[in-house]
Amino acid sequence: MKKIIAAAAALLVSGASFAQSVEVLHWWTSGGEAAALNVLKGNLEKQGVKWNDMPVAGGGGEQAMTALRARVTAGNPPTAVQMLGFDITDWAKQGVLADLNAVAAKEGWDKTVPKALQAFSKHDGKWIAAPVNVHSTNWVWANKEVLDKAGVTKLPASFDEFMDAAAKVQKAGFIALAHGGQPWQEATIFDGVVLSTGGIDFYRKAFISKDKAALGSDTMLKSFERMAQIRKLVDKDFSNRDWNLAAAMVINGKAGFQIMGDWAKGEFLNAKKVPGKDFVCFRFPGTQGMVSFNSDQFAMFKVGGDKAAAQVKLASAIMDPGFQSAFNVVKGSVPARTDVPDTAFDDCGKKGMKDLAEANTKNTLVGSMAHGHAVPASIKNAFYDVITRHFNGQIDSKAAVKEMVAAASN
């Protein structure tokens, strides 16, 4: 008898007792991201669904998308894949995504997910992805003690004020801007710079409509000139640094600022830092009242039998309001559902939820170019290339403007 009990216990521990399983491809590999993902893993495992993890590091998901292509080509897609905006649409067009309409109708997703997200979660009237959050890219993260030591008493509200504050931080002996020299990180900064320089209508013309006059304009030139100013704020070792290591420089008081989406907050929280006390969050100067969003969604691939049943459980777990609160509190994002209360969120999270709701009503909510919600990957990657070569001094601002126009016709 004892032996049988021991064997059963061993089975439980080894996970072999799970009746169903899901395989999930994602790029949540930093400390804060992994902590958030654990909330989902735990919830599913409580329901008897085993989680087979397929992590592929790299912000923005470029590497993850490459790994995915190989799996789909081999006829063996994962159950679910973390995906951004136009990538979802691209896969939907290939006819490889599952139809989630039954669970979506049963749970009323249509009523609780904002239309801006549904534009990507649905294709041809079918739900194909479950949105887990809304992030936004036009944020700045700062170390409070560094700002105090540098004599920055007021948070910068315009680009020029930001440059003044950064100069003070540098003067006080700190690195002004923690940055990782990877194309998607430079593009993330560019989202905020273009919004700040040109405003919401200009951003829409340039990045959503791919209007050649806007892309080739003096406003775009000024945006690149500002990128060149920002380039002077980074340390000499910035090249190819991961974003979470850049966040750590602000967390550890080596640097004053990081311009990054609100997934950065997950790193601060994971390091036990408190918003308002240890660090502050504010909108990229000049973009107050505007939100450039991206939403992590789990695109569901066509899988058969048992796998399909587990997939529906995963989709339903992602859309659970309690989960959307618990997950996003840790992740730094805000819920994709509009009916989740902000009570569990810290001040940055509450601000994020309020900003999103206001931007949605005032029509100042735009898809992030850097994170796949403005243009398809082919054009996004062509924009990345221009922005990065400019940031690294390989082309000047005038040439960059010209190349942006050409990239839009990619």
Tell me the three-class secondary structure of the chain, residue by residue: CHHHHHHHHHHHHHCCCCCEEEEEEECCCCHHHHHHHHHHHHHHHHCCEEEEEEECCCHHHHHHHHHHHHHHHCCCCCCEEEEEHHHHHHHHHCCCECCCHHHHHHHCHHHHCCHHHHHHHEECCEECEEECEEEECCEEEEEHHHHHHHCCCCCCCCHHHHHHHHHHHHHCCCEEECCCECHHHHHHHHHHHHHHHHHHHHHHHHHHCCCHHHHCCHHHHHHHHHHHHHHCCECCCCECCCHHHHHHHHHCCCEEEEECCCCHHHHHHHCCCCECCCEEEEECCCCCCCEEEECEEEEEECCCHHHHHHHHHHHHHHCCHHHHHHHHHHHCCEECCCCCCCCCCCHHHHHHHHHHHHHHHHCCEEECCCCCCCCCHHHHHHHHHHHHHHHCCCCCHHHHHHHHHHHHCC
Task: Give least dist CB 40 to ligand BGC, A.
Answer: 13
Q: Which is nearer to ligand BGC, 185 or 197 (CB)?
A: 185
In the complex with ligand BGC, the residue whose CB is nearer, 150 or 178, is: 178
> What is the per-residue binding string for ligand BGC in 243-262, x denoting contact by CB under 6 A?
x-------------------
Q: Judged by CB under 6 A, which of 223, 294, 324, 328 binds ligand BGC?
A: 294
- Residue 65 or 169: the one with the smaller Cβ distance to ligand BGC is 65
Interface with ligand BGC by CB under 6 A: which range of 58-66, 170-178, 216-224, 380-388?
58-66
Query: Quick check: 60 binds ligand BGC (CB under 6 A)?
Result: yes
Give the integer Cα–Cα distance in Å for 81 and 318. 13
Listed ranges 53-61, 108-116, 174-182, 386-394: which one lies at the site for ligand BGC (CB under 6 A): 53-61
For the CB of residue 192, give the shortest distance to ligand BGC in the complex, in Å. Answer: 15
Contact between 180 and ligand BGC by CB under 6 A: the answer reads no
* Residue 139 structure tokens: 């944020």
- Of 61, 156, 256, 285, the one binding ligand BGC (CB under 6 A) is 61
> Smallest distance from the beta carbon of 82 to ligand BGC, in angstroms?
7
| 59 is a contact residue toward ligand BGC (CB under 6 A) | yes
Count residues binding ligand BGC (CB under 6 A). Answer: 12
Token readout for 127 is 């739900």
Token pair for 263:
């997934």
Amino acid at 13: V
135 binds ligand BGC (CB under 6 A): yes
Which C-beta is closer to ligand BGC: that of 270 or that of 364?
270
By the 8 A CB rule, do 368 and 134 touch?
no
Q: Are 291 and 138 in contact (CB under 8 A)?
A: yes
Of the residues 238, 263, 284, 293, which one makes contact with ligand BGC according to CB under 6 A: 263
Question: Exactly one of 23, 33, 62, 267 binds ligand BGC (CB under 6 A); which one?
Answer: 33
Stretches 57-65, 115-123, 205-213, 400-408: which one binds ligand BGC (CB under 6 A)? 57-65
* Footprint on residues 64-103 left by ligand BGC (CB under 6 A): 84
Q: How far is the CB of 319 from ligand BGC (least distance, A)?
A: 17
Q: Which stretch binds ligand BGC (CB under 6 A): 59-67, 105-113, 245-253, 272-280?
A: 59-67
Give the residue with the Cβ less far from ligand BGC, 83 or 103.
83
Calpha distance 126→72 (Å, rounded):
20
Q: Please, what is the minimum distance in Å from the beta carbon of residue 114 to ligand BGC?
A: 16
User: Binder to ligand BGC among 87, 296, 355, 403 (CB under 6 A)?
Assistant: 296
User: In the complex, what is the shortest distance from the CB of residue 135 to ligand BGC, in angstroms, rounded to a whole number?
Assistant: 5
Q: Taking CB positions, which residue lies at the least distance from ligand BGC?
A: 263
| Footprint on this chain of ligand BGC (rule: CB under 6 A) | 27, 33, 59-61, 84, 135, 243, 263, 294, 296, 371
